[in-house]
């Protein structure tokens, strides 16, 4: 059984790694905040002092961190993953990051005889906990086939999308769709509230019809209950939309819906909501309409 390295134990990474631990693999783990890995080490994962040490003691290394700058540091920086790799290893970035960075990591890894995948995920905290994530991978196709059993510990909808960067481009398509869907979702619930309807009853009806969406059926009930805890941080969603808009400009592609959605979420950050869940966009629309939540 392969030894697995894992870097990043945030809202999603912790649950994803726990699935690997529970399958009986020896797991080496590193996180910037050691306390966040305590549940994993209590189950048998071995703490390592840095990403390099994780790689030195593992066969496959997975990482899911916050921002592209974190990805660059973890994979390419001093004491980073590539400093600890050996020929024949596989390294996997599951962070939502920049396609161009995925290509740089792929090329740097290939120069050392190492296979690399960019494999961002979708499904939030619920998908991570329930091992129902979508995994969209780009990079070395043979490496994808080799680590597919590990991906299956975490998700159900798993696909190889093409060469390095293809996984990230697919995730950008996902985030573009979610961004505008979230705007529609919070507007429809605010309308229901203002009309005097019970939000949960509305969700139960329209969530089974043509208006059904993952966001409505998963985040809608949280809004109805006043639960704005993060399944996915607003600050990370703004980062994702920024990447998508940058890539769109490079392709001479105009996406005004995405640009508008990003502005609403930037308003959320200006309100101090950056560490709440993406469903907290509802609070922005409440304020715009003078409604006290």
**Residue 139 maps to which CATH number?**
3.40.50.720
How many residues make up the chain in this entry?
Answer: 293
> What positions carry a catalytic annotation?
171
CATH code at 284? Answer: 1.10.1040.10
Mean pLDDT (whole number) for 141-152: 98
Any domain includes 236 = yes
Mean pLDDT (whole number) for 73-99: 98
For β-strands 133-139 and 121-122, DSSP reports them as: antiparallel
Residue 247 has pLDDT above 80, yes or no: yes
Q: What is the pLDDT of residue 88?
A: 97
Mean pLDDT (whole number) for 205-212: 97
% of the chain beyond a pLDDT of 90: 97
Residue 35 has pLDDT above 70, yes or no: yes
**Per-residue confidence at 245, pLDDT binned at 50, 70, 90?**
very high
Helix 166-194 to helix 199-206 angle (10° resolution) is 130
Any domain includes 293 = no
Q: Provide the domain count of the chain.
A: 2
From 108, 142, 163, give the residue that closes a domain: 163
Mean pLDDT (whole number) for 72-93: 98
Contact 96, 137 (CB under 8 A): no
**How far apart are alpha carbons 228 and 114 in whole angstroms?**
41
**How far apart are alpha carbons 246 and 253 in whole angstroms?**
10
Looking at the fold, whether 184 and 279 belong to one and the same domain comes out as: yes
Looking at the fold, whether 283 and 260 belong to one and the same domain comes out as: yes
Match 């592609």 to its residue by tokens.
253
Q: What is the pLDDT of residue 292?
A: 78
Residue 144 has pLDDT above 80, yes or no: yes
Average pLDDT of the chain to the nearest whole number: 97
Residue 293 has pLDDT above 80, yes or no: no
Contacts 24+ apart (CB under 8 A), 246-252: 246/98, 247/98, 247/99, 247/169, 247/172
Looking at the fold, whether 109 and 222 belong to one and the same domain comes out as: no
Looking at the fold, whether 17 and 137 belong to one and the same domain comes out as: yes
Looking at the fold, whether 147 and 37 belong to one and the same domain comes out as: yes
What six digits make up the tokens of 251? 């392709």
288: left (phi over 0), alpha (psi -120 to 50) or beta: alpha
Looking at the fold, whether 149 and 95 belong to one and the same domain comes out as: yes
Given CA atoms 245, 247, 251, 252 in this order, what sign does their dihedral have? positive
Mean pLDDT (whole number) for 217-243: 96
Residue 46 has pLDDT above 90, yes or no: yes
Q: What is the pLDDT of residue 255?
A: 98
Residue 13 has pLDDT above 70, yes or no: yes
What six digits make up the tokens of 106? 């792929």
The pLDDT tens digits for 16-32 are 999 999 999 999 999 99
What's the predicted TM-score (pTM) here? 0.93
Question: What residues make up the domain containing 220?
Answer: 169-288
Residue 17's alpha-carbon distances to 13, 66, 183, in angstroms, are 6, 16, 32
**How far apart are alpha carbons 216 and 263 in whole angstroms?**
21
Looking at the fold, whether 153 and 20 belong to one and the same domain comes out as: yes
Mean pLDDT (whole number) for 253-264: 98
% of the chain beyond a pLDDT of 70: 100
């Amino acid at each position: 059984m392969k030894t697995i390295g894992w870097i990043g134990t945030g809202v999603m990474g912790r649950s994803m790694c726990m699935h690997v631990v529970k399958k009986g693999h020896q797991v080496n783990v590193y996180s910037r905040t050691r306390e966040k890995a305590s549940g994993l080490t209590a189950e048998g994962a071995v703490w390592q002092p840095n990403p390099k040490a994780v790689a030195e003691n593992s066969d496959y290394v997975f990482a899911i961190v916050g921002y592209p700058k974190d990805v660059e540091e973890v994979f390419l920086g001093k004491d980073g993953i590539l400093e600890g790799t050996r020929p024949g290893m596989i390294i996997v970035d599951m962070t939502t990051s920049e396609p161009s960075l995925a290509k740089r990591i792929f090329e740097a890894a290939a120069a050392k005889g190492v296979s690399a995948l960019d494999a961002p995920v979708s499904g939030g905290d619920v998908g991570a906990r329930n091992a129902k994530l979508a995994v969209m991978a780009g990079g070395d196709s043979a490496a994808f086939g080799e680590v597919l059993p590990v991906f299956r510990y975490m998700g159900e909808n798993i696909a190889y999308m093409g060469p390095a960067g293809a996984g990230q481009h697919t995730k950008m398509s996902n985030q573009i769709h979610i961004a505008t869907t979230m705007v529609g979702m919070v507007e429809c619930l605010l309308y229901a509230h203002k009309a005097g309807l019970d939000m949960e009853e509305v969700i139960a009806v329209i969530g089974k019809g043509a208006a059904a969406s993952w966001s409505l059926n998963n985040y809608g009930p949280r809004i109805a209950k006043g639960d704005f805890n993060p399944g996915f941080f607003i600050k990370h969603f703004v980062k994702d939309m920024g990447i998508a808009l940058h890539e769109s400009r490079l392709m001479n592609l105009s996406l005004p819906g995405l640009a508008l959605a990003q502005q609403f979420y930037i308003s959320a950050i200006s309100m101090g909501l950056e560490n709440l869940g993406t469903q907290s966009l509802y609070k922005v629309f409440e304020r715009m309409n003078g409604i006290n939540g």
